[in-house]
Amino acid sequence: MTRKQKRLSIIAGALGFLGAATALTFYALGQKTSYFYMPADLVATAVPPGQRVRLGGLVEEGSVVRGEGSRVTFAVADGGGRVPVTYVGLLPDLFREGQGVVTEGTFDGAGTFVADSVLAKHDENYMPKEVADSLKEQGVWQQN
């Protein structure tokens, strides 16, 4: 093997390795993708059961019902839509009605959102940008 052939084989091997690493990285990131929706978006979009999504909005007043054990049901609304949510686990300390919330999970066959994580706003000035922008456009949420 000549010097030129050795260099070409090393370069080809390195490019193959980088290509495989890039492909594996994109595959792994694709598996963790979850799309962000507001309740009004879900009225217009048919999300199939089992697809992982993030749902953001305000916890509807009077909708929080504590069930057996650590099961909680509540509704997330944004003025243009309402989505019932079921969550089993400990809620954040700042979770309450009328506050901003982002949940992550899937829809069951009955149209209920089954959340596996719930994030509440952490102080008086914070709300996820997507949620705040959408609620401001609809005139539902004003920053204090």
**Which residues contribute to the annotated binding site?**
122, 126
Identify residue 86 by its one-letter amino acid code: T
Q: What is the DSSP string of 66-121?
A: E-STTEEEEEEE-SS-EEEEEEESPPPTT--TTSEEEEEEEE-TTS-EEEEEEEE-
Known binding-site residues for heme equal 122, 126
The burial class, CB within 10 Å (0-12 / 13-18 / 19+), for 24 is exposed
Distance, in Å, from the CA atom of 132 to the CA atom of 72, rounded to the nearest integer, reads 24
Are 103 and 54 a contacting pair, CB within 8 Å?
A: yes
